[in-house]
Amino acid sequence: MTDERIKNVSGLRKAMIRPELGAIAGTILVFAFFLIIAGDSGMFAPKGIQNWTVVSAQFAIIAVGACLLMIAGEFDLSVGSMIGFAGILIAIMSVQWGWPVWVAIILAFVICIALGALNGFLVIKTGLPSFIVTLAFLYILRGLTIWLSILTTQKTIIGGVKQVAEGDWLAAVFGGTILTGLFQWFADIGLIDTFTRGSREGQPVVEGVPMLVVWALGLIIFGQWLLTRTKFGNWIFAVGGDAQAARYVGVPVNRVKMMMFMFTAFCACVFATSQVMEFGSAAADRGLLKEFEAIICVVIGGALLTGGYGSVIGAALGALIFGVVQQGLFFSGAESSLFRVFLGTILILAVILNTYIRRMITGER
């Protein structure tokens, strides 16, 4: 028997309350805009596509964790500091202490996930808003990162990671590329340009798919599956919608929140590790403002700041918009500082749209 509340909902209304709607429209508009103003600049050539895809993947990795946590009704403002902290840990353990890179990476993940659990524990046990708890950790972790870096090296940038990571099995999982043979074949048949001089003559300008992109796609697929296809996903929505009501029906609210804080820290460490392997160095100021960029991606993707509503696919599209705009400004020759203007503008528009959608759902006026 069809629920009467659903039967009378029009198809247009069903479409309007989809969390991804704003992100889909935004993605189409952004691509159309830059196709017009930067279409001849190489932005949509293979190398240009790789550039904005990699940037979008960076945003997407942290946006997935932020999305699930925000749907569960919490925030984590320590994500950016966690990125810098994890990167410095890996560099110190591998370069300064001479430990195998795979050991450094695993220990960095263990420490970051433990810190995520500590964030969750403090939020649950003290009843303080996660905004306050994680804001405190934003400063604590940033300070620890700078202190550890200066204490061990007298510098805030630690290089040499690429050299010690050469041949390491786990480093390749975060910093390598896949499908290199396929891209070489594309170059051989003329689908991709090749270098015409120097030591790389004849090699494709795009060597393969970076592992950063693979991680982003994997996390997006996992997050969407977890949220929409599992009982745990229902719990996430229930906890963010009404935690007390969720407790009454047997949802382990505290466990869900704790695991979401841990998953957010895991995503931050994935970002940090991939970045360290890509650049071959770690810097104490890495990840600056990334927590806010992740939240904006999620809001663009349709999540409500009050929790209980959102979409991983929407957050991924928000990350794609960010990547395309950031690189599009570069290819079009515009001032890079305009990217911050875009962030603020798109945040306001997304919140207005999401508020309107919430009122449609709840029937508020």
**Has residue 345 got a pLDDT over 80?**
yes
> Residue range 122-150: average pLDDT?
95
Q: Is residue 20 part of a domain?
A: no
Q: Is residue 252 part of a domain?
A: yes
DSSP 8-class letter at 309? -
pLDDT at 356: 72
Q: Is residue 47 part of a domain?
A: yes
* CA-angle at 270, arms to 265 and 273, nearest 5°: 120
> Residue range 180-190: average pLDDT?
84
Spatial contact of 23 and 301, defined as CB atoms under 8 Å apart:
yes
**Has residue 36 got a pLDDT over 90?**
no
Q: Binning pLDDT at 50, 70 and 90, where does residue 317 land?
A: very high
Q: Is residue 79 part of a domain?
A: yes
Q: Is residue 36 part of a domain?
A: no
Structure tokens at 47: 């190398």
What pTM does this model have? 0.91
The DSSP-derived string for 183-239 is HHHHHHTTSS-B--SSTTTTSBSS-SEEHHHHHHHHHHHHHHHHHHHSHHHHHHHHH
**Has residue 5 got a pLDDT over 90?**
no
Q: Binning pLDDT at 50, 70 and 90, where does residue 90 land?
A: very high
Q: What are the Cα distances from residue 136, in Å, to 67, 81, 129, 172, 271?
A: 21, 11, 11, 34, 21
Structure tokens at 58: 């960076």
**Has residue 338 got a pLDDT over 90?**
no
* CA-angle at 171, arms to 166 and 175, nearest 5°: 95
**Has residue 186 got a pLDDT over 90?**
no
Q: What is the CATH number of the domain that holds 51?
A: 1.10.3470
**Has residue 211 got a pLDDT over 80?**
yes
pLDDT averaged over the chain?
87
What residue spans of 39-77 are helical by DSSP H? 46-71
> Residue range 153-167: average pLDDT?
90
pLDDT at 7: 47
Residue 103 vs residue 278, higher pLDDT? 103
pLDDT at 362: 55
Q: Is residue 15 part of a domain?
A: no
pLDDT at 146: 95
User: 14 exposed, middle or buried (CB, 10 Å; 0-12, 13-18, 19+)?
Assistant: exposed
Q: What domain count does the chain have? A: 1
**Has residue 14 got a pLDDT over 70?**
no
**Has residue 126 got a pLDDT over 80?**
yes
Q: Binning pLDDT at 50, 70 and 90, where does residue 359 land?
A: low
DSSP 8-class letter at 365? -
Q: Is residue 345 part of a domain?
A: yes
What b-and-e string marks burial along 145-172, b requiring 16 or more CB atoms within 10 Å of the CB? Answer: bbebbeebbeebebeebbebbeebebbb
State the residue range of the domain holding 151. 42-362
**Has residue 222 got a pLDDT over 90?**
yes
Spell out where the chain has E strands: 157-158, 177-178, 209-210, 282-283
Amino acid identity for residue 233 in this structure: G
Q: Is residue 355 part of a domain?
A: yes
Paired with 209 in beta bridges are: 178
User: Whole-angstrom Cα distance, residue 270 to residue 66?
Assistant: 13
Phi–psi pair at 204, nearest 5 degrees: -65, 145
**Has residue 24 got a pLDDT over 60?**
yes
248-288 confidence digits (pLDDT tens): 999 999 999 999 999 999 999 999 999 999 889 999 989 98
Phi–psi pair at 303, nearest 5 degrees: -70, 145
User: Whole-angstrom Cα distance, residue 192 to residue 206?
Assistant: 7
